[in-house]
């Protein structure tokens, strides 16, 4: 039996007292107040990220866990949607298998939208029968975000069958309906969909909460909605959870949900409501086997130095101390990668784009998944590469699963003055996406990723740097600290080349995400997310 003392934070009864926690094996046997001196710090349930794609950390689950436990994270609700779009069920099996090599409690869901839409080329498809098959796995805890909300509103048969499969197995169903309110939202959530992590305004979040939807306040490396949505914590504390969605390793080294707790408390929000969102609500909603610091629970808890900054000193998972004041107590396993990459190098001429008129430019915004539209021009040229006076760069998506003609469009908002960047992290089908000032640079970074079969790449027009992502073109085989260091250096180099966004690779990765308005680019062409159909990239008309 182990005895851990400190100031016990009892979220259920909203009280703090000097106490001792007695654990035996994986369980909390007893919690009792004491008049004796106790160790410094506050003992409370560990944090659970209510929605995250582990793949977007650029790390395999085991490497992610090695960083996350330092921030007091003991569990995640994880959607393996990204690797499923590349490798299908085999990719999901990889995530589950690797996650079991470390103590952190990963809870995976069954991806509902592989591919996310019919307007892009993915590496796999998961239909209703595959969803039923996956629902039988004990490692699958919920139906992942139902991204195709127009499909729900239109009662598309395959999508509705997936929702019914989750109901048959009595598993929660995650939502994904950015900007949707009113009768359409009521209709969408009436099918048993219970959450949404895509709210980006207070008004949208308040409407959805008012009809009983559980709102996941997202603060990731790209989308940051904490400031807009945190007022909902006062009004609907029983419905609020915290999540990252997508978190790059350099950000994860700086903090996870502990940082959100610190921000909420500093802004004057109730401590107990804050901890409820970070610890209790996700566990209770998803019915997770994660301890909440009660007698008989799994011994999953943390020690923080105070209840303002929430600096994590120690982390226990299933009765084992996995992090102790700077030291992580488990090693990383050897990983054998899988991938799916069949495309070949392209020529400079493949990117030529004649323009006679105005271009419909994607307007990218820092830390946001949504984009705006702009008409820029007119131009009359046999090949428009860029127009730096308007911060206009060429954007291309190249199919990585088969030989195909690259899709071409234009983007503004990146600030890049020379060179190009490219990535095989391109939500949701993860083809190669690249943006650049000239076709020579674009060709260099695209072909560099063809050689490594996936990764992140940049060039200043001369040198080319690549971070290989050996697992599905999404995740590195390296430890988190190594990936974070390289990733940070890439961002610094891009800043020297004029990039104005702190995380340009993360923003670039979402420029192919068709289910988020307004303009996006798939391997099949420019897509209008408001009208949910393709549109021409060059026009003499107004938007």
The answer to whether 258 and 72 have CB atoms below 8 angstroms apart is yes
CATH number of the domain located at residue range(s) 46-290 in this protein:
3.20.20.140
Using DSSP's 3-state secondary structure scheme, residue 491 falls into helix
What pLDDT, on the 0 to 100 scale, is given for residue 541?
65
For 50-73, letters b (16+ CB in 10 Å) and e give: bbbbbbbbbbbbbbbbbbbbbbbb
Of 107, 105, 139, the residue nearest 318 (C-alpha): 105
Identify the burial level of 325 via C-beta atoms within 10 angstroms of its C-beta, where 0-12 means exposed, 13-18 middle and 19 or more buried.
exposed
Instruction: Measure the CA angle with vertex 221, ends 218 and 223; round to 5°.
Output: 45
The strand order across the sheet containing 533-534 reads: 519-522, 525-528, 533-534
What pLDDT, on the 0 to 100 scale, is given for residue 543?
58
* 0.85 surpassed by pTM: yes
CA–CA separation, 181 vs 184, rounded Å? 6
Using DSSP's 3-state secondary structure scheme, residue 408 falls into strand
CA–CA separation, 295 vs 281, rounded Å? 18
Residues 6+ apart with CB under 8 A from 103: 65, 69, 317, 318, 320, 322, 330
Cis check for the bond before 187: say yes or no (omega within 30 of 0).
no
What pLDDT, on the 0 to 100 scale, is given for residue 542?
61
The count of other CB atoms within 10 Å of the CB of residue 319 is 19
DSSP secondary structure string, 140-168?
A: EEEEEEE--HHHHHTT-HHHHHHHHHHHH
The domain limits of the chain are 46-290, 348-539
What pLDDT, on the 0 to 100 scale, is given for residue 539?
77
Of 413, 64, 385, 399, the residue nearest 244 (C-alpha): 64
Q: What confidence tens digit (pLDDT) does each residue in 238-249 have?
A: 999 999 999 999
CA–CA separation, 259 vs 311, rounded Å? 8
With a cut of 70, which residues of the chain have pLDDT below it?
367, 540-543
Which parts of 350-479 fold into alpha helices (H)?
439-452
Residue with tokens 């008012």: 210
What pLDDT, on the 0 to 100 scale, is given for residue 540?
64
Give the pair of three-digit tokens for residue 64.
Answer: 């992610």
């Amino acid at each position: 039996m182990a005895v851990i003392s400190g100031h016990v934070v009892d979220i259920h009864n909203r009280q703090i007292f000097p106490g001792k926690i007695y654990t035996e094996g994986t369980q909390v046997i007893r919690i009792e107040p004491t008049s004796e001196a106790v160790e410094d710090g506050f003992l409370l349930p560990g944090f659970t990220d209510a929605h995250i794609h582990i793949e977007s950390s650029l790390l395999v689950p085991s490497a992610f866990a090695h960083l996350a436990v330092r921030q007091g994270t003991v569990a995640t609700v994880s959607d393996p949607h990204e690797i499923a779009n590349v490798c299908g069920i085999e990719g999901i099996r990889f995530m589950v298998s690797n996650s079991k090599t470390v103590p952190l409690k990963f809870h995976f869901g069954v991806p509902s939208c592989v591919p996310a839409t019919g307007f892009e080329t993915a590496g796999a498809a998961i239909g209703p029968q595959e969803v039923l098959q996956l629902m039988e796995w004990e490692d699958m805890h919920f139906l992942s975000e139902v991204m195709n909300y127009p499909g729900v509103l239109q009662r598309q048969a395959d999508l509705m069958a997936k929702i019914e499969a989750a109901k048959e197995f009595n598993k929660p169903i995650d939502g994904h309906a950015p900007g949707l309110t009113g009768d359409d939202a009521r209709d969408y959530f009436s099918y048993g969909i219970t959450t949404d992590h895509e709210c980006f305004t207070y008004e949208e979040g308040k409407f959805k909460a008012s009809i009983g939807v559980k709102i996941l306040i997202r603060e990731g490396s790209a989308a940051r909605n904490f400031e807009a949505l945190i007022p909902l914590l006062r009004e609907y504390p029983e419905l609020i959870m915290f999540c990252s969605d997508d978190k790059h390793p350099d950000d994860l080294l700086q903090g996870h949900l502990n940082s959100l707790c610190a921000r909420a408390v500093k802004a004057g929000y109730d401590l107990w409501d804050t901890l409820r969102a970070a610890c209790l609500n996700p566990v209770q909603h998803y019915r997770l086997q994660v301890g909440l610091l009660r007698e008989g629970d799994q011994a999953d808890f943390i020690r923080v130095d105070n209840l303002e900054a929430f600096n994590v000193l120690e982390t226990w998972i299933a009765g084992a101390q996995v992090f102790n004041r700077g030291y992580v107590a488990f090693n990383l396993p050897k990983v054998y990668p899988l991938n799916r990459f069949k495309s070949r190098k392209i020529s400079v001429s493949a990117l030529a784009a004649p323009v006679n008129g105005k271009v419909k430019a994607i307007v990218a915004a820092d830390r946001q998944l949504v984009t705006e539209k702009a008409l820029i021009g007119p131009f009359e040229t046999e090949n428009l590469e860029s127009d730096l006076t308007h911060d206009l760069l060429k954007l291309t998506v190249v199919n990585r699963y088969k030989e195909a003609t690259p899709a071409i469009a234009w983007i503004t908002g990146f600030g890049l003055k020379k060179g190009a960047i490219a990535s095989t992290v391109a939500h949701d089908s993860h083809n190669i996406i690249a943006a650049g000032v000239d076709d020579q640079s674009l060709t260099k970074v695209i072909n560099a990723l063809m050689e490594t079969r996936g990764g992140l790449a940049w060039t200043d027009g001369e040198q080319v740097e690549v971070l290989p992502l050996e697992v599905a073109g999404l995740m590195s085989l390296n430890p988190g600290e190594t990936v974070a260091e390289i990733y940070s250096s890439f961002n610094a180099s891009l800043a020297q080349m004029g990039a104005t966004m702190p995380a340009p690779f993360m923003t670039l990765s979402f420029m192919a995400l068709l289910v988020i308005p307004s303009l996006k680019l798939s391997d099949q062409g420019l897509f209008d997310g408001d009208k949910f159909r393709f549109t021409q990239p060059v026009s003499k008309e107004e938007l």
